[in-house]
Amino acid sequence: TSNLSACNDNGTPANSADDFFTADVTVTFANAPATGTLDLTGDGTASVSVVGLTSPHTFTLVQMTADGGAIDLTATFSDDAPCTFNETNAGTAPASCSVAPCSITAIGTSNLSACNDNGTPANSADDFF
């Protein structure tokens, strides 16, 4: 992989599940079949006809999930399925760039004191605890 972009929050800054980045993916091969496609699967997907294709081939702007993990990609020829290569660590994806929204879930009290009349037993308006 090369030319990895920064993380894109996909317009949803509070949702990390849809964060993505793009990268160029270069596949080097020999003896390609005369028909079919060269297919990229795994963390990113792309496909190109093998007609006139030369090695290496670079898929540009392949979109993948921004999750901070290893990039796992597989290249396969559609008309020569046994000719497959899997790279489990083709680079490292950028981390998610969305930020979870603030969440306050509870307010509680403890250690309550007795009522204090603030020295004015006839005035309840200034009582406190």
Query: pLDDT tens for residues 2-46?
Result: 999 999 999 999 889 999 999 999 999 999 999 999 999 999 999
Residue range 56-109, pLDDT digits in tens? 999 999 999 999 999 999 999 999 999 999 999 999 999 999 987 677 889 988
Report helix, strand or coil for 85: strand
pLDDT value at residue 70:
97
Rounded CA gap, 7 and 111, in Å?
47
Separation CA 33–CA 19 (nearest Å): 36
* pTM for this prediction: 0.74
Whole-angstrom Cα distance, residue 40 to residue 113? 68
pLDDT of residue 109: 86
Please name which of 90, 82, 93 lies closest in space to residue 27, comparing C-alpha atoms: 90
Per-residue confidence (pLDDT) for residue 61, from 0 to 100 = 97
Which pLDDT value is given to residue 105? 86
* Amino acid identity for residue 57 in this structure: H
- CA distances in angstroms from 6 to 62, 63, 115, listed in the order given: 13, 12, 58
